[in-house]
Structure 1
Amino acid sequence: MKILFKFCAAALMLSACGMVGAADARGDFVSAKKTHFSRKGQACYIVGANFWYGGYLGAASGVGERARLLKELDNMRALGINNLRVLAVSEKTDIKSAVSPASTAAPGQYDEELLVGLDFLMAEVAKRDMTVVLYLNNFWQWSGGMTQYLNWFEGTPALDPNVTKDFDGFLTSTAAFYRSAASQAEYRNVIARIVKRVNTVTGKPYSEDASIMAWQLANEPRPGTSQVTPKERALYVKWIDETAGYIHSLDKNHMVSSGSEGVVGSAQDAQLYLDAHRTSNIDYLTYHLWPKNWGWFDSKNPTGSWDGAIAKSRDYLNTHIELAKKLNKPIVLEEFGLDRDGPSFSIKATTKIRDRYYREVFDVIYQRASKGDPIAGFNFWAWGGAGRAANAEYWWKPGNDFVGDPPQEEQGLYSVFDSDVGSLLLIKEYADRLHSICRIPTTSAQAFCKVM
């Protein structure tokens, strides 16, 4: 494995999104130029990993593992990864399938040690010419999130669908967050706390840090179930517009995105997805792809379910690129994954089916990008790196390693570990392909590469 990373580091080709000089000029920030990202006047692509626990590893003590963090960053950079999607804040909850400790113990009570961990992460990311998307809330319970806000301010139970087994009930209840005035007021306090923060390691305000690519409203915000009312739809659209606008009022340098899953996360309605992202306060689009979670793929019957799952996945990928064309904005596939062969959570299990799936996804992204279409890159879910599951049942407990799978899921479900050679080589292969588009542009890509 060390040989692989040394080889990758020697072969690494930097993209415009990852080339950082003195971060003083406005051009050092990644920005959306029509349907593509630009930096220093050049089109660039995101080759990213979800690394939600990066700030946790950066803490000086407690859950922090700074030596591991540096190793993880070096290994990802050696693969050509230039962007990380990271959880910025978490809320303390009694829910068992949630991470602990949390950066917010109660409204207005912040764990400065964890926030310094985020500072440390950002300082190290800058040294490696990488950028970060920081998401500021979570629709799901694994970091406290919206259900915990409702517990604090509305007195409703903080729900765990892993326990209740009532998924639609969780969606409906959690969507009440958008109409809770007290929750929204505190949410904005938290946004201001992070966006206006001064990094204790570098002394640089977050709002002036070009290593931040974008702020994100939340991880996978949904309007509720597929049966949302017109009033609920309108409230959701308004929430995205006004919250993104609030972030822009605090920070003129960085982009803002929603964190949406796409049509599946928009009550299965493409029009709602378009309406929610039409606002000028949203700079680029996001979408996620989960064929197993959405019932398209059966990992216990991979042969029988493969063709249908891949056909639906390709359609989902391409449909969203066309939606991005309609809004004239870039789009990033910022989550996708598949489990290990077996299916198994064990790191000893092979990843042949997942690697086959990754290649299908990567190929669609690369082919559409090489034609100049508005796909701006990807973040796979998720980087497990040197982390390892500690328990026979594969569920996380406080004190265990952090891996790519959050505590609401079995550890090893979707993580890419540093021993998954096949997956790592695929990521490296397509990182090089995507980064090379504007260095040796095809005829169809040449036009937009020149006008950035």
Structure 2
Amino acid sequence: MTLSRRTLLTALAVAPALGAATAKPNGFVAVTDGRLTLDGQPYRFVGGNLWYGAWLGAPAAYGDRARLRRELDKLKALGVTNLRVLGSGERSPAKVALDPTFRGPGADYDANLLKGLDFLLAEMALRDMKAVIYLNNFWDWSGGMPAYLRWTENGTWFQQGDPAHPWPEYADYAARFYGDTQANALFRHFVKSLVGRVNSVTGQPYRNDPTIMAWQLANEPRPGGSEGFGVANLPIYYCWIRETAAFIKGLDPHHLVSTGSEGSMGCLERESCVVEAHKPAEIDYVTLHIWPNNWGWIDPKNQPATYEAGEARCRDYVKRHIALARSLNKPLVIEEFGLIRDQRAFAPDAPARYKDRFYTTIYDLALADMKAGGPVCGTNFWAWNGEGRAQQADAWFKHGDKSFVGDPPQEEQGLYGVFDADVSTLAVIRRHAEAVNALSPARAGPPPAHLPTPFYQGERG
């Protein structure tokens, strides 16, 4: 069912035309001369990943709004002002997939999760935080692209990690999504509904809400896994990025749009692929993820012996992508990076010497480039566990668990995330936030005028 590039261009020619460029209203993050700006000043941030924010905010049995408020308060106190959150989720039979999710194959989107996202954005606005909302997932822990392919019967569905389908079969399968017009029609219907939504808490249309920094096409979209399939799929992959970004821009001209790419490691290890994926005018900034354990650069079973060489590769990876962003004259956000604790421990406050060192390395590279006026504008560590804790003895997520953490269901709960008891790692984040804040003019003042203060006084009182 994979289509040619010509067929894809014809079938997806439903995006509204981009309107004439207009100045952004106050409060919206913009791109000026290849850098992120906010109200005419450089916008630099220390951020985190909180994929489960909408789940905590949902008015349902699995939600916990009081905890969400506490988590946001803790993050704000650390100096974290930007959160990358999941704004989608597709029903899937995968053993590690989320449940509930935003949608199934129909258009009856989950009202509780939509209201949960509303609540999250309203609470972030109160704390002067910005959100990056990703709209799909290459990986099946949230359903993602394989769920759409299952609904359209595009090949035989299988879950990531199925021993009958070893890597890179999963990546090649998920990457069929870009050329499946039926799957993309379903996806675009959801995107149009979400981008056009009116927040049930604030009454503010999403397209007019400056709390949102950017819409993101997907989490870690890859053109494929194998050389043969991936290279052949590149034209369709590039087309999907450009056309989907244009579709979103046509719905919402105020917000930025980004890819969610890992960089060259998620692009068949080709820097040229990174450039082509981020070249379209509809893509506002470059994204970068860094996973040395997952990529085999630092052995999770022997970090002491492999850390030095792995860190050197990470440094080189960041520097290379800074150069790519500079060549594109676009900002760069290091929006995922993580390392396991010592001896692959999952428990809160377990020793994290190498993790802390890795965070410091990424933060120092980002800070140095910020000071030099380079393209790096912010970082988002992966991920915030906060007060969440593993509910099972083996630390694996089970359906029905309500104590969400930053480690998604495909990983042990605590593998990469930062708990509120991880004193040494919290100190690393706090020091970096203080250094970044010292580079930028202070922002002060009351919450945005669109927030219904009486509602919050009653709700929070």
The residue type paired with residue 27 of structure 2 is: D
Counterpart in 2 of 1:309? 310
Q: Does the CA contact (< 8 Å) of 1:103 and 1:111 recur in 2? A: yes
Counterpart in 1 of 2:364? 363
Residue 141 of structure 2 is aligned to residue 162 of structure 1: no
Counterpart in 2 of 1:251? 252
Distance 1:77 1:178 in 2: 37
Counterpart in 2 of 1:449? none
Gap regions ≥5 residues in structure 1:
1-23, 441-452
Deviations 1:5-50 (A, max 9, x none): xxxxxxxxxxxxxxxxxxx971310011122111111001121100
Distance 1:432 1:135 in 2: 27
Distance 1:248 1:415 in 2: 33
Distance 2:261 2:366 in 1: 18
- Match of 1:362, SS? helix
Counterpart in 2 of 1:137? 136
Distance 1:230 1:408 in 2: 28
Distance 2:103 2:230 in 1: 32
- Match of 1:178, SS? helix
- Match of 1:377, SS? strand
- Match of 1:335, SS? strand
Q: Does the CA contact (< 8 Å) of 2:289 and 2:336 recur in 1? A: yes
1:38-437 equivalence runs, <5 A: 38-164=37-163, 166-227=166-227, 228=229, 230-400=231-401, 401-437=403-439
Q: Does the CA contact (< 8 Å) of 2:349 and 2:422 recur in 1? A: no
Count of residues in Structure 1 that have an aligned counterpart in Structure 2? 417
The residue type paired with residue 134 of structure 1 is: I
Return the offset for 1:272.
1.0
Distance 1:35 1:232 in 2: 29
Distance 2:223 2:231 in 1: 11
Q: Does the CA contact (< 8 Å) of 2:303 and 2:342 recur in 1? A: no
- Using the size of structure 1 for normalisation, the TM-score is 0.90
Structure 2 vs 1, CA of residues 343 and 249 (structure 1 numbering), >3 Å: closer, same or farther?
same
Deviations 1:231-259 (A, max 9, x none): 41111111100100000000010000000
Deviations 1:146-196 (A, max 9, x none): 000000012544422233362200001111101111001111101101000
Distance 2:266 2:290 in 1: 10
Counterpart in 2 of 1:11? none
Distance 1:412 1:289 in 2: 18
Deviations 1:244-300 (A, max 9, x none): 000000001000000000011111100011011100000001010000000000132
Between 1:81-90 and 1:155-164, the stretch displaced more is 155-164
Distance 2:379 2:438 in 1: 15
Distance 2:33 2:139 in 1: 31
Deviations 1:425-446 (A, max 9, x none): 1101101111211349xxxxxx
Counterpart in 1 of 2:6? none
- Moved runs in structure 1, 4+ residues, more than 3 A? 155-158, 228-231
Distance 2:61 2:158 in 1: 27
Structure 2 vs 1, CA of residues 177 and 186 (structure 1 numbering), >3 Å: closer, same or farther?
same
CA RMSD of aligned residues (A): 1.4
Deviations 1:51-93 (A, max 9, x none): 0000000011221000100000000000110100000010011
Distance 2:144 2:234 in 1: 20
Counterpart in 1 of 2:449? none
Q: Does the CA contact (< 8 Å) of 1:150 and 1:158 recur in 2? A: yes
Distance 2:169 2:317 in 1: 26
Deviations 1:359-412 (A, max 9, x none): 111111111111111001100000000000011111101232110000011111
1:15-30 equivalence runs, <5 A: 26-30=25-29
Distance 1:174 1:78 in 2: 39
- Match of 2:161, SS? helix
Between 1:69-78 and 1:342-351, the stretch displaced more is 342-351
- Match of 1:225, SS? coil
Q: Does the CA contact (< 8 Å) of 1:342 and 1:349 recur in 2? A: no
The residue type paired with residue 430 of structure 2 is: K
Distance 1:87 1:261 in 2: 16
The residue type paired with residue 410 of structure 2 is: Q
Return the offset for 1:305.
0.3
Return the offset for 1:229.
5.3
Distance 2:411 2:167 in 1: 15
- Using the size of structure 2 for normalisation, the TM-score is 0.88
Return the offset for 1:131.
0.5
Distance 2:245 2:412 in 1: 33
Distance 2:31 2:192 in 1: 23
Distance 1:278 1:104 in 2: 31
Return the offset for 1:348.
4.8
Return the offset for 1:109.
2.1
- Match of 2:380, SS? strand
The residue type paired with residue 151 of structure 2 is: W
The residue type paired with residue 56 of structure 2 is: L
Q: Does the CA contact (< 8 Å) of 1:171 and 1:224 recur in 2? A: yes
Distance 2:230 2:333 in 1: 28
